[in-house]
Amino acid sequence: MPQIKEINTGNSASAALANAVALVTGGSRGIGRAIALRLASLGASVAICGRDIAMLSSTGSALKGTGARTLSQVADVTRAADIEALVGKTQSELGPITILVNNAGIGLFGPAHEKSETDWDRVLDTNLKSAFLVSRAVVPGMIQRGGGDIINISSLAGKNAFAGGGLYCASKWGLQGLSACMAEDLREHGIRVSIICPGSVATEFSSRPKDPAKVLAPEDVAHAVAMILTQGPRSFLSEVHVRPLRKP
């Protein structure tokens, strides 16, 4: 895969996450972009990845403006080789990864019986397999250092069924199970694994028109991420549901 890189050596030493290094998958747009910018504003060094060079460049420029140390790299997080390169470059340029946000995801909707095997693989690989692969690459270092945070961005569709949601719900229900088991596997190593389940978010993810008053903004999810990362050291928020104040 082609790679692009953007590094900025600014520092925010007084911020809450000044010593943290965060990797946000799918960080070039939508929820991922909002999360990356929020973490940078809190002082973390932030690496983002995605497959769209133009969007990565745009978000990379915005991250530079916060004064954070940043890295932007093209990567397909469904491919182990791309992940190995991404993690290696992040740690080489920014330092050991202390925060992982598995945000990369896609939606493909309609009756499951009308979908192809290719459709299934695309959704499950992006929404579920990627979280497994990236976590697997990052966790050994966290275990060695005795701590870290992994936040998986799921959906309320991981808790509720709806017509046309077969593939998407399968991926998010799977992510719920993976996250809960990872939390049990890793808590004794000082690693906190949390999952965030947003309701409908106003991004380019969905083509359905939405009433802005009845959907979340990407920044609402970013706020939940910040809340998880700034809690006290003796606890962890295992699952956070984020809903619009007004019902859709």
Alpha carbons 14 and 161: distance in angstroms, whole number: 44
Residue tagged 């969007």 (tokens)? 55
Confidence of residue 162 (pLDDT cuts 50, 70, 90): very high
The reply to whether 13 falls in a domain is: no
The reply to whether 67 falls in a domain is: yes
Other CB atoms within 10 A of residue 129 CB: 19
| pLDDT over 50 at 197, yes or no | yes
The reply to whether 2 falls in a domain is: no
Mean pLDDT confidence for 21-38: 97
Give the per-residue pLDDT at 206: 52
pLDDT tens per residue, range 108-150:
999 999 999 999 999 999 999 999 999 999 999 999 999 999 9
Alpha carbons 56 and 50: distance in angstroms, whole number: 7
Q: Which domain holds residue 234?
A: 21-242
Q: The domain that contains 184 carries what CATH number?
A: 3.40.50.720
| pLDDT over 90 at 1, yes or no | no
Write down the mean pLDDT value for the chain.
91
The reply to whether 42 falls in a domain is: yes
The reply to whether 5 falls in a domain is: no
Predicted structure pTM score: 0.91
Q: Is 168 a catalytic residue?
A: yes
The reply to whether 78 falls in a domain is: yes
| pLDDT over 70 at 5, yes or no | no
The reply to whether 228 falls in a domain is: yes
The reply to whether 212 falls in a domain is: yes
Confidence of residue 205 (pLDDT cuts 50, 70, 90): low
Total domains present in the chain: 1
Catalytic one of 42, 137, 168, 221: 168
Mean pLDDT confidence for 39-56: 96
Confidence of residue 72 (pLDDT cuts 50, 70, 90): very high
Give the per-residue pLDDT at 210: 64
- Cα separations in angstroms, 211 against 202, 216, 248: 9, 10, 8
Burial class of residue 127, CB neighbours in 10 A (0-12, 13-18, 19+) = buried
HSE of 164, CA atoms in CB hemisphere, 13 A: 4
Mean pLDDT confidence for 191-203: 93
Give the per-residue pLDDT at 208: 53
